[in-house]
A and B are shown apart, each in its own frame.
Chain A
Amino acid sequence: METNKDRLVKQAVMAEVNHPSASRGYRVDWDGVPRIGLGMSGVKYNVGVGDLCYYLENGEHTEPGLSITNSNPGEGQALGVLGCIGNHVKLTSGEAKGEKGYITGKHGSFMCWFPPEVQEKISPGDKIKVKAWGVGLKIAGFEETVRVNKIDPELLEKMGVEAKGGKLHVPVTREYPCWIMGSGYGMFPVTIDYDIQTTCDLVWDEMDLKDIRFGDVVCLRDQLNWWGRGYYKGAVTIGVVIHGWSYSAGHGPGVTTILSSKDGTIIPEIDPHANIAYYLGVKEKPK
């Protein structure tokens, strides 16, 4: 697989580690039960890319690793558009100044992975430099048929994607039908994810929703993420799971979409270990 990565602008964008957020009162879940939801923003010591999304007590859109934003609206918008999954990040202040990690997803915040011993030294407020690279990425031979979005060119090369016979074969953990896709639907793929809904307890088991992991590469059927995000019969979208479960109606693990085609050019291949934690080399792949 060849890409136009040599022609893509690579630039520095600034962010800072943010603070955990919490709502003032209870959030009402899909069935009318009040709940306290935990896990948005801040630094998580025991939740990382590659872990299961489900098991967290009171977990609500839990973001693995640490979360970063830029509170200046204009700069934050640029960060939102320019940052890509797999981009290199570096701490530029605080106890762990100079240490390096990766972006692992884009929710409201970007999520980052750092080595555990580095993460111990990171505090909310620490500054982070993102080496933003990936907007405009195209795959040779698929320029007109596959939309690439929000993925670092070097990470894409490590994802086992194979171009053969005019098709793009992509390893994924699972496939999901269009109707399970929830919050974020209709929005702009460049800046926001959308959720695999965990609202309906009747389908938790039949769709293996409790087995989803942060970082899983998944396939969404009949979904086109090109100029926007919506239904298109026969379209295939590939995305990366970036945040955790939710009990709010229409919400669930979020997916940042990275590849999309409307004409069957993308062929998903099931691989239970299709996860960016292994592709980035930040977690050991099970034998």
Chain B
Amino acid sequence: MGKVAPPVMAASGRSTYVTTWDGKPKIGIGVGGIKYNVKMGDPILGWPETEYMTPGVALYGADEKAEYDRRSASGSGTAFTKLSCIGNKVTVVGGDAKGSTGVITGKGGVGGTSRHVLSHFPMEVLKKLNIGDKMRVASKGVGLEVEGFDGRLFNMDPKFLDALEPGLDGDVLELPVAKEIPVIAMGMGVGGSSAESGGWCVQVSPPHLVEMLGLGDLRFGDLVACKDALMSYGKGYYKGAVTIGVVTTGESQVAGQGPSVLAIASSKRGKIKPRVDATANVAKYLELEG
């Protein structure tokens, strides 16, 4: 069980601002709550004053509280986060939108943490939703395997994996990606715990890095291939490894930080073949309605 999480500020403790890579104060809005005009498929860059914006409706465990500096889930909230998978059905069980259904689209929080589970609902449901409304996720996906694949899978409902039309050639899994990202762009989140909780940030500062790697048109929900990045049991550099992930949360202009990539597949020996397709986005595979 979960509930709609309230908006919280990205700045920690008693700070009013976050400090950007070039020493400017930024308010840091966008984490948690209900977004009426930001959803999977929308551009990552260009939302003023935002840090780690969560698209759609942000959920967390039913027992969670919006405290200062509580960036990661705890207790039943941890189970809610780890068990929820992209493509799982979510049902509103309290409030004005009771009985309506939506779908889980990702997980993410400030600094690559996994405080929030992200969900999508059609606009007519969004209008009725309130902060705190209880949600039930029909969780399925932890333990998902593809027989023969030399790697691990995470955070996917089996139906979502099917929608990606994966190919298997020997022990190599082929998956669609919108972009390939070299490990030099990978920032905060490295050293983080299991793939089921939290992501690894793609740095979107300084501007010359964005230009160099063509990250300017990155979208919420894009599938990306991270090269030399291993997220099987934690997140770290591994020569030749490939991790496929979903870009879940929005930009950060703090040095070494940026949109968070939630892993869906990782292979130490590089047994993943990315199939580049600019339209490879969660919004497409989940057939999300506006």
Contact = CB atoms under 8 A, between A and B. Distances in A.
Contact of A251 (B21, B208, B236): B236
> Which of B233, B235, B255, B268 gathers most chain A CB within 10 Å?
B255
Contact of B237 (A187, A197, A231): A197
A184 B191 contact: yes
Nearest to B191: A183
Contacts of A187: 188, 256
A249 B234 CA distance: 5
A30 B209 CA distance: 28
B22 interface: yes
A185 B256 contact: yes
B236 A233 contact: no
Interface string A245-266: 0001111000000000000000
Contact of B187 (A28, A199, A200, A231): A231
Contact of B255 (A28, A197, A228): A228
The interface residues of chain A, by DSSP majority, are classed as loop
Contacts of A99: none
A29 B233 contact: yes
B238 interface: yes
Contacts of B192: 183, 250
Interface string A180-206: 111111110000000101011011000
Contacts, number: 130
Interface in A128-171: none
A31 interface: yes
Contacts of B23: 226-227
B142 interface: no
A210 to B, nearest CB: 17
A177 to B, nearest CB: 8
Interface string A24-49: 00001111100000000000000000
Contact of A183 (B22, B190, B238): B190
Q: Which of B19, B183, B191 has the most CB of A within 10 A?
A: B191
Which among A180, A186, A227 has the highest number of chain B CB atoms within 10 Å? Answer: A186
Contacts of A183: 190-192
Interface stretch (B100-108, B115-123, B198-206): B198-206
Interface in B204-220: 205-206, 208-209, 212
Interface in B230-288: 230-240, 254-257, 268
Contact of A185 (B187, B205, B232, B238): B187
Contacts of B208: 233
B163 interface: no
B64 interface: no
B232 A230 contact: no
Contacts of A16: none
Contact of A230 (B183, B194, B255): B255
Contacts of A60: none
A179 B187 contact: no
B182 to A, nearest CB: 8
Contact of B256 (A202, A229, A251): A229
Interface residues of A, number: 35
Interface in B152-195: 183-192, 194
A32 B233 contact: yes
B268 A227 contact: no
B222 interface: no
A91 interface: no
B109 interface: no
B257 A186 contact: yes
Contacts of A219: none
A248 B194 CA distance: 11
A30 B234 contact: yes
A227 B237 contact: no
B20 interface: yes
A202 B206 CA distance: 30
A230 B190 contact: no
A17 interface: no
Given A183-B190, A183-B191, A187-B188, A30 B254 contact: no
Contact of B203 (A197, A231, A248): A231
B232 A200 contact: no
B256 A230 contact: yes
Contact of A180 (B189, B237, B240, B256): B237
Contacts of A32: 232-233
Given A183-B190, A250-B191, A226 B235 contact: no
Interface string A208-235: 0000000000000010101111111100
Contacts of A232: 21, 206, 209
Interface of B: 19-23, 111-112, 183-192, 194, 201, 203, 205-206, 208-209, 212, 228, 230-240, 254-257, 268
13 contacts: A180-B237, A181-B190, A186-B188, A186-B256, A187-B188, A197-B190, A200-B230, A200-B239, A202-B239, A222-B184, A226-B21, A229-B255, A231-B184
Given A197-B237, A227-B21, 4 more contacts: A197-B191, A197-B236, A231-B209, A249-B234
